[in-house]
Amino acid sequence: MDNKTAAVKMRNITKTFGSVVANDKVWLDIYRGEILALLGENGSGKTTLMNMLSGIYFPDEGEISIDGKEVVIRSPKDAYDLGIGMVHQHFKLVDVLTATENVVLGLKEKGKLDLKAAAAKIRAICDQYGFEVDPDQKIYDMSVSQKQTVEIIKVLYRGADILILDEPTAVLTPQETDKLFAVLRNMRNDGKAIVIITHKMHEVEELSDRVAILRHGQFIGDMPTKSTNAQEMTNMMVGHAVTLNIDRPEPVDPKPRIEVKNLTVRSIDGVLKLDDVSFTANSGEILGIAGISGCGQKELLEAIAGLQPVESGSICYVEDNGEREELLGKDPLRIAEMGVALSFVPEDRLGMGLVANMDLADNMMLRSFRRGHSFFTDRKSPRKLAEAVVKELDVNTPGISTQVRKLSGGNVQKVLVGREISSAPTVLLTAYAVRGLDINSSYTIYDLINRQKAAGVAVIYVGEDLDVLLELADRILVLCGGKVSGIVEGRGAQKRDVGMMMTRLGGSKADE
């Protein structure tokens, strides 16, 4: 282990965007035959650093050397020529083409295009590392994990032996994650250098050989994974000690709040998205929703929020005094006018929950701008609310007149959640509330959700990290292909069982 030479040496790398210093004299070594986990909070400059290695950005200052030779990476092509390949968080594939066609796309090989030979080469790569993908399958037919596999193969096909993966497990089920990790270990044993960016501590501990930590664009330190632990790594990332336990207080006086009965939803193309879904969400309780992405979670929340046309079924809001009101067929405005205080933190924060080009204060107005009979908007109270949210949730922003698109992911989410809970809701719907958020921001969000629960709000929490769902939710509803696969108690539920229910209706019962 000790006599390995660094495949990549990054020295004194600095990159600024306007007045924002994304990377400040960063040093980083990447070794072959090793999996390096790059850790850091949102906005700490991990992705920027890796983008400079893969030729997307060009550093303002600093040197990069590959195998001891100083190099300059001007474009992704330069990076490929040096054997560096990056798998981005958002896939860059053409849907209507096959895996093979996507892999060879953009390659400038001499001679005629030979798809058969390319497919054979892809199969060879698959056999070597244990990928499961059909080179002739179209991308639109593929699951998220298969698409990711194609992205990885694309990089390997180009001869990369330094691989960078940006949050590869964010979209995968536990089973798919295990498969990916097996493949990554195979590649490591084959002598490739692998860098993985992730926020999930248990994955870091399970997979990586070494960790490197960035904070506020600066390099904090690196060490072998074996000689550290989640607590220490988190402290280094955040800069001070944090507790890593998620509270789960007992629900106080739970009463039915939202009753969903036989809900069936079809997409515009006529695809069945939700099939006969029934459940009850109680006040003072967190109902977790688990499922592979695209199993109807989005449609379920949007149907409750009045944004999704429904084929049949009913969604009833039950008031404290037992009065019931049907929410179906009403738009968000009508629901609010009925006096139902429903808050919704959608998955697409900047495309749906907020207006990216408006500042914090104007975004606070989105829910409340109609208030009052004046023809004009009230600009004062949103400013006050924005200031309060910035202060209470510790939003890192130059001011409340900053456009939200300029904030990092965690801060965007704090602004959105802060606005949604400011209206004292009785129902809080959240979709992937901590997706892409660092540990510190995630725990802030869990804490906010728990406070809402303590205040008697019925929380519906759609999550992707099963570990978190198992720790946070009082009950977990598992969706599988738009059907309810089962509802389990959060306390004492086993990760393996829930994982099974996600992939097969009824889970282990059908399996064994």
H or E element that contains 233 = helix 230-238
- Report in angstroms the alpha-carbon separations of 425 from 2, 67, 148, 352, 452: 57, 57, 38, 19, 8
CB of 373 to other proteins, least distance (A): 10
- Which of positions 159-178 make contact with other proteins (CB under 8 A)? none
Nearer to other proteins, 310 or 439 (CB): 310
CB under 8 Å to 252, separation ≥6 — which residues?
284, 454, 456
Of these, 25, 88, 248, 367, which contacts other proteins (CB under 8 A)?
A: 367
- Stretches 113-121, 205-213, 299-307, 426-434: which one binds other proteins (CB under 8 A)? 299-307
CB of 6 to other proteins, least distance (A): 18
Instruction: Examine residue 267 and tell whether it contacts other proteins (CB under 8 A).
Output: no
- Which of positions 336-355 make contact with other proteins (CB under 8 A)? 336, 344, 346, 348, 351-355
CB of 115 to other proteins, least distance (A): 33
CB of 399 to other proteins, least distance (A): 12
The one-letter amino acid code at 438 reads D
Nearer to other proteins, 16 or 314 (CB): 16
User: Can you tell me whether residue 31 is helix, strand or coil?
Assistant: strand
C-beta atoms surrounding 95 within 10 Å: 12
Of these, 17, 94, 107, 489, which contacts other proteins (CB under 8 A)?
A: 17
Residues 72 and 62: beta-carbon distance below 8 Å? no
Of these, 202, 244, 369, 489, which contacts other proteins (CB under 8 A)?
A: 369
C-beta atoms surrounding 136 within 10 Å: 12
Instruction: Examine residue 376 and tell whether it contacts other proteins (CB under 8 A).
Output: yes
Nearer to other proteins, 61 or 141 (CB): 61
Task: Measure the CA–CA gap between 144 and 129, rounded to whole angstroms.
Answer: 19
Nearer to other proteins, 243 or 374 (CB): 374
User: Can you give 65-77 as a three-state secondary structure string?
Assistant: EECCEEECCCCHH
Nearer to other proteins, 343 or 411 (CB): 343
Task: Measure the CA–CA gap between 283 and 321, rounded to whole angstroms.
Answer: 13
CB of 78 to other proteins, least distance (A): 9
First to last CA, the chain: 43
- What's the number of CA atoms in the CB half-sphere (13 Å) around residue 45? 28
Task: Measure the CA–CA gap between 477 and 479, rounded to whole angstroms.
Answer: 6
Instruction: Examine residue 366 and tell whether it contacts other proteins (CB under 8 A).
Output: yes
- Stretches 164-172, 185-193, 228-236, 359-367: which one binds other proteins (CB under 8 A)? 359-367
Nearer to other proteins, 37 or 431 (CB): 431
User: Can you tell me whether residue 425 is helix, strand or coil?
Assistant: coil
CB under 8 Å to 366, separation ≥6 — which residues?
354, 355, 419
Residues 297 and 478: beta-carbon distance below 8 Å? no
Count the site residues for other proteins by CB under 8 A. 43
CB of 357 to other proteins, least distance (A): 5
CB of 80 to other proteins, least distance (A): 14
Of these, 97, 230, 246, 356, which contacts other proteins (CB under 8 A)?
A: 356
- Beta pairing, strands 84-87 & 312-318: unpaired
Nearer to other proteins, 105 or 333 (CB): 333
Rg (CA), the chain: 24
Of these, 125, 223, 230, 307, which contacts other proteins (CB under 8 A)?
A: 307
The sign of the torsion formed by the CA atoms of 415, 168, 54, 92 equals negative
Strand order in the sheet with 458-462: 342-345, 427-431, 458-462, 285-290, 475-480, 483-489
- Stretches 94-102, 167-175, 269-277, 304-312: which one binds other proteins (CB under 8 A)? 304-312
Of these, 95, 326, 331, 489, which contacts other proteins (CB under 8 A)?
A: 331
- Which of positions 22-81 make contact with other proteins (CB under 8 A)? 58, 60-61, 63, 70-72, 74
Nearer to other proteins, 153 or 342 (CB): 342
CB of 333 to other proteins, least distance (A): 3
Burial 215-230 (b: 16+ CB within 10 A, else e): bebbbbebeebeebee
What does the binding site for other proteins look like in residue numbers (CB under 8 A)?
Answer: 16-20, 58, 60-61, 63, 70-72, 74, 305-307, 331-334, 336, 344, 346, 348, 351-358, 362, 365-367, 369-370, 374-377, 379
